[in-house]
Amino acid sequence: MAKLLVTGSSGLIGSEVCMHFANLGYEIHGVDNNQRAVFFGVQGDTRWNQKRLQTTIGNFHHHELDIRNREGVIQLIATVKPDAVVHTAAQPSHDRAAAIPFDDFDTNAVGTLNLLEAVRRYSIQIPFVHMSTNKVYGDAPNSIAMKELDTRWDYSDTAYEFGIPETFTIDQSKHSLFGASKVAADVMVQEYGRYFGMPTCCLRGGCLTGPNHSGVELHGFLSYLIRCNLEERTYTVFGYKGKQVRDNIHSYDVARFIEEFIKAPRSGEVYNLGGGKDNTCSILEAFALIEKISGIKMKYKYDETNRIGDHICYYSDLRKMRAHYPNWNITRDLETTFREIYNSWITRQASLV
């Protein structure tokens, strides 16, 4: 039986990957130490997701390990002997990174290096998939000519009709410390692919979302927004008139792309993994959609100060992904994703009553 090792296995993407590959017949080894609760407090706790995996997947093995533990990581890879590695563990918030710069860099950059080197020492033949981020582009996308519409911003430069391509610059821009640590990890994953010939790829995610997200204000845009609506909390909009645009991709579609890559891996590749233009929404548009689903009026306040390095408009050009892996495509549209997240929060709240 093939073995898959997944870091950050209790998080949104990690848990989706675990479930997806378990259904494909893999033996799953999950690495997670609930560091999200340390970064974000009790609201970010993912132990509920760990328990879900342990009770749902028959061939699931949990490893309580911090990826900053270099010797522990090297020993784990040598012991498990995985057939592929999917690395989703991270400090994921660009706001939080400024308060914990050492923890951020050691987790995102050094933790990734620990995994890459551990895999290289074991075998240079096994696929290594790294969840990177669109924050590697910093705020450079904000330099694109844009137009302001009633409820959103959009690109007015026709060169970006389909979104941001993988060739877009990562230089001469403000990334946030989180973005910088993820750049270091991203480039290292590419280099292990090119220098050592390892089958590696970086997936530069936009808004990765889905029903199993423990969304908090500093990370987890749609999950947190929908939770605020359901609980009638006040949501804070930071800058850009609430018209900032994101493309949103369901965690299932992320797992499906990872499946396709592992079946036919390439070395040192990068892909902008998002929902594409069809799955975009602004914050104002997200308010309208969740109000339609829940029947609850959104409560929000406006802070005119935008987050440092935040994108005014960002959506991924999916043409390279579709060209390299034609069996992959988006399967969950925006409203379906909203409804799944909404129903998940209702279920979780009911379990606490």
If pLDDT is split at 50, 70 and 90, which confidence band does 218 have? low
Q: What distance in Å separates the CA atoms of residue 135 and residue 62, rounded to the nearest whole number?
A: 30
pLDDT in tens, 235-258: 999 999 999 999 999 999 999 999
3-state secondary structure of 324: helix
Candidates 286, 284, 105, 308; CA nearest to 218 is: 308
Please name every residue paired with 89 in a beta bridge, in sequence order, or none if there are none.
none
Amino acid identity, residue 231?
A: E
295: left (phi over 0), alpha (psi -120 to 50) or beta: left
User: How much is the average pLDDT of 80-94?
Assistant: 93
pLDDT in tens, 264-309: 999 999 999 999 999 999 999 999 999 999 999 999 999 999 887 7
Report which DSSP code applies to 194.
H
If pLDDT is split at 50, 70 and 90, which confidence band does 92 have? confident
Evaluated on CA atoms 51, 52, 57, 62, the torsion sign reads negative
Per-residue pLDDT at 352: 61
Domains and CATH numbers, the chain: 3-352 (3.40.50.720)
87 neighbors 115 (Cβ within 8 angstroms): yes
Lowest average pLDDT, out of 44-53, 285-294, 323-332, goes to 44-53
* Direct distance between the N- and C-terminal alpha carbons of the chain, in angstroms, rounded to an integer: 41
Q: What distance in Å separates the CA atoms of residue 282 and residue 83, rounded to the nearest whole number?
A: 40
Q: What distance in Å separates the CA atoms of residue 79 and residue 279, rounded to the nearest whole number?
A: 41
| Cβ-proximal residues to 186 (8 Å cutoff; 6+ apart), any chain | 130, 132, 136, 202, 204, 270
pLDDT at 38 over 70: yes
Lowest average pLDDT, out of 5-9, 41-45, 253-257, 270-274, goes to 41-45
How many angstroms separate the Cα of 217 from the Cα of each of 92, 95, 133, 187?
12, 10, 18, 28
User: How much is the average pLDDT of 192-212?
Assistant: 95
pLDDT in tens, 168-201: 999 999 999 999 999 999 999 999 999 999 999 9
Report which DSSP code applies to 86.
E
Per-residue pLDDT at 219: 66
131 neighbors 12 (Cβ within 8 angstroms): no
